[in-house]
Amino acid sequence: MNKPARGSLLGIEHLEDKEILGLLKLARRMNPQKARPLLRNKRVVLLFYEASTRTRSSFEIAAKSLGAITTLVQSSGSSIEKGESLLDTGYTLRAVGADVIVIRHPAAGAPHLMAKHLDIPVINAGDGMHEHPSQALLDAFTILKHKKSFKGLQVAIIGDIFHSRVTRSNCHLLTRFGVKITLCGPPEFVPEVSAMLAPGLRVTRHIEDALRGTDVIMLLRLQTERLAGQKISLQDYIARYQMTGARLKLAKRDAIVMHPGPIIRGLELTAEVADGPQSVILDEVHNGVPTRMAILARALGKAK
Amino acid sequence: MLNAKNQKRETASLLIKGGYLIDPAGKINAAMDVLLRDGRVAEIALPNKVRGGADEKFDARGLIVAPGFIDLHVHLREPGQSYKETIATGTAAAAAGGFTSVCTMPNTLPVVDTEEWVAWLRDPERGAMVNVFPIAAATRSSRGATLTDFAALQRAGAVAVTDDGKPILDDEIMRAAMQLGAELNLPVVQHAEDTRLTEGCSMHEGRTSFRLGLRGMSDAAEANIVDRDVSLAQQIRESRLHVAHLSTADALKAVRRGKRAKARVTCEVTPHHFTLLDENVGEYDTNFKMNPPLRSAADREAILVALADGTVDAIATDHAPHATHEKEVEFERAAFGITGLETALALAITTLHRDHKIPLTRIVELFSAGPARVFDLRGRGSLAKGNFADVTIFDPKKRWTFEAAKSRSLSHNTPFDGWQFVGKVMATIVGGKIVYRAE
């Protein structure tokens, strides 16, 4: 077992502040329309064990914009279906000539396992309920486009915190730079222990309390497919936690509304909020490409 | 006993000279020489006062001489999974760890639920280096539905019954098992885990599981079952309950309640639970994944108190070997369990004695007299004259480094690779014969 190869991105938690700031700076300089072919002839393998629309297409476009060759390997239609282990899949892709592996996996820690055994960079595109570092970076990128700096910002994250790898990564990233975060939802989705993830976190059960004076509102989909037997009344959730136009007024007037997607209109938010002027949901998707260009450039040592 | 037959008697008598004898059951704590003859303890005497002659001598100067250690909880994987461990390799590891007797868990392939399998485990053909005491399944195929034939299993040599790994959740089945056990004076061992609450869980529920995005097992999943079982033990006269690998403060409370009420309730604790915490899982190190999982600091504190005050009856390893390909996978998919036979005494001396000032006498009791009482292993757990000549000799001060690669176990799934310890097994004697000697 070894240390992950240079350029790997396994999570936000163990990144240094200057690495985060460096990636954000690099992302700002990336333009998908006018990119230099920094990764010409490099092979980027996208290894996806879970469904994905945004992350997959955005990593692929990011890689191609930089001149790389991309290959998509999915669990269905590959030898993974036949029972090939994660490590053997990794060794195989390395032997095929992968220069970097971007992996999405339903098991927390899967990218870490691969990185311990491979000598090429591994990029975590979401591992179970653990982390989703590229999403946190693109969210930070988006916040900085709309707010001057992280200083003094208040963020409310509302919904299914427990199952959310996006939330874990965002909490690790934003609290580093002094952002105060309020986690909001029912105990099934927001256990008390959530507040211990990072300094500067607090938990509330009341959406009004979470929204008052907030600069950034992050909404989450209820991952009912991960509920493992627990039942929750959606009607009850909607009544107490759905983001509506009326509730949005409790936040600061220039507050932005974010959501990592996929959004379910009529559940965690109304169409009015999703399509409203304060929504930056599609901007996040848009910013995913330069952010992932930066991540890939760094992974392959082209972060100049 | 059976294995004694198998052992070629190279020497009929062995004199252990110059050592310091700790025999908690015999209330001996003094420099004593021990003479073993024909597989039994022949004489205990002050230094140089043994009268009989001996074919062989063991120089135990500077060492502790103790009744042979007994491990109440090991998985030797036979029948069925000899790629993980065999009785021969597992008992070789046991010998190297100072264990002269091991009690094997029945969750093999197939499950040990018949007299034939119990006899098979005890057959000299298996090549055991130490005594093997099988624990048989409590229900057929450990499916939790129909009790096995306890009486027949006991006659064949089973020392207890359990559905280890597949806890008996159904109240009526557990009650029936304890009732039948009571009639036969046979302990029922429970792996206490309400599996209805732990589906998909791979570690302890707490701050670390939340941080790692892993589903966690709550304290209640263990404590609820122990609580129910202790209540049954209080209700059913003469029933005997043994709580396996107890890991939470709440479960300890239930055991204390049972003991205060004079119910026949015993419990064991593993070296990893008294040494490590959930946060030691680090970044998904599967060598720290076992069931019950590593718990919180508060749970460990409670366990340390209970080890010192006598609530815990035995230290047991839950030695659970697994092949590399079963551990080098995603954390959530990795097999539960770690090896433990060769590090148990070193962890006890390092963690309990050096760090927490628990006396060596108490540690020896937890490895010998305690476990012998739990399963009524007559003639063992003490070096009284006439008892079996099972002896563990160790150096409580020796420093050494454990290397997993040099383990005698077929598997190397241990969290303690490279750990520096104080306290080392120097020799293990089974039935009067030296089966392990440190270089």
Query: Which of B374, B401, B428 is a domain's end point?
Result: B374
Within a domain: residue B379?
Answer: no
The three-class DSSP label of residue B49 is coil
Which residue of B208, B211, B279 is the best one to mutate when testing the A interface, meaning the one whose CB has the most A CBs within 10 A?
Answer: B211
The per-residue pLDDT for A1 is 55
Looking at chain B from residue 279 to 338, which residues have their Cβ under 8 Å from any Cβ of chain A?
A: 283-284, 325, 328-333
Q: How far apart are CA A211 and CA A222, in angstroms?
A: 19
pLDDT value of residue B4: 46
Q: Which of A221-225, B93-97, B198-202, B320-324 has the lowest mean pLDDT?
A: A221-225
Distance from CA of A228 to the nearest CA of B (A): 8
Domain end, chosen from B351, B374, B397, is at: B374
Amino acid at B307: L
Pairwise CA distance, residues A268 & A222, whole Å:
8
Is B143 in contact with B111 (CB distance < 8 Å)?
Answer: no
Query: Which chain A positions have a beta carbon within 8 Å of B207's beta carbon?
Result: 193, 196-197
Confidence category of residue A304, pLDDT binned at 50, 70, 90: low
The domain that contains B409 carries what CATH number?
A: 2.30.40.10
| Co-location of B57 and B76 in the same domain | no
Assigned domain for B234 exists: yes
- Which of the listed residues B319, B350, B374 is the one where a domain comes to its end? B374
**What mean pLDDT do residues A151-179 have?**
97
Same domain, B184 and B59: no
Check B284 against A113: CB less than 8 A apart.
Answer: yes
Bridge partners (DSSP) of residue B99 are B69
Contact A113 B210 (CB under 8 A): no
How many C-beta atoms surround the C-beta of residue B80 within 10 A?
A: 13
Q: How many domains does chain B have?
A: 2
Report the residue of chain A nearest B333, measured CA to CA: A107
The residue range of the domain holding B80 is 66-374
The reply to whether B214 touches chain A by the CB within 8 Å rule is yes
Residue of A nearest to B332 (CA): A107
Does residue B28 belong to any structural domain of this protein? yes
Do B38 and B177 belong together in one domain? no
Which of B219, B229, B299, B318 is an active site residue? B318
**Which residues touch A236 (CB under 8 Å, ≥6 apart)?**
none
For this structure, is B318 an active site residue? Answer: yes
pLDDT in the model for residue A82: 86
**B73 and B51 within one domain:** no
Q: Which residues in chain A have their CB less than 8 angstroms from residue B211's CB? A: 13, 168, 197
B433-437 and B99-104 strand pairing: unpaired
Q: Do A109 and B333 touch (CB under 8 A)?
A: no
Classify residue B411: in a domain, yes or no: yes
CATH (domain of B178)? 3.20.20.140
Q: Which residues of B touch A197 (CB under 8 A)?
A: 207, 210-211
* B433 and B361 within one domain: no
Tell me what pLDDT residue A78 has. 82
- Joined together, the tokens standing for residue B314 give 């035995």
Residue-range domain boundaries for chain A: 17-131+288-299, 134-285
Task: Out of A109, A127, A228, name the one closest to residue B199 (CB).
Answer: A228
- DSSP conformational letter for A177: T
Q: Are B243 and B273 in contact (CB under 8 A)?
A: no
Same domain, B109 and B166: yes
Signed CA dihedral, A27, A30, A32, A38: sign only: negative
- Interval B270-292: pLDDT, tens: 999 999 999 999 999 999 999 99
Mean pLDDT score across all residues of chain B: 96
- Predicted pLDDT of residue B6: 47
Confidence of residue B1 (pLDDT cuts 50, 70, 90): very low
Same CATH topology for A17-131+288-299 and A134-285: the answer is yes
pLDDT band at A75 (very low <50, low <70, confident <90, very high): confident
Q: CATH number of the domain at A134-285, out of 3.40.50.1370, 2.40.50.1070, 3.40.50.300, 3.40.190.80?
A: 3.40.50.1370
The answer on B212 and B95 residing in a single domain is yes
- B382 in a domain, yes or no? no
Tokens, residue B184 = 């036969």
A17-131+288-299 fold: Rossmann fold (3.40.50)
Phi, psi of B286 (to 5 degrees): -70, -10
Confidence of residue B5 (pLDDT cuts 50, 70, 90): very low
pLDDT digits (tens, 9 = 90+) for B26-52: 999 999 999 999 999 999 999 999 987
Same domain assignment for residues B288 and B313: yes
Quick check: pTM over 0.80? yes
Per the domain annotation, does B11 fall within a domain? yes
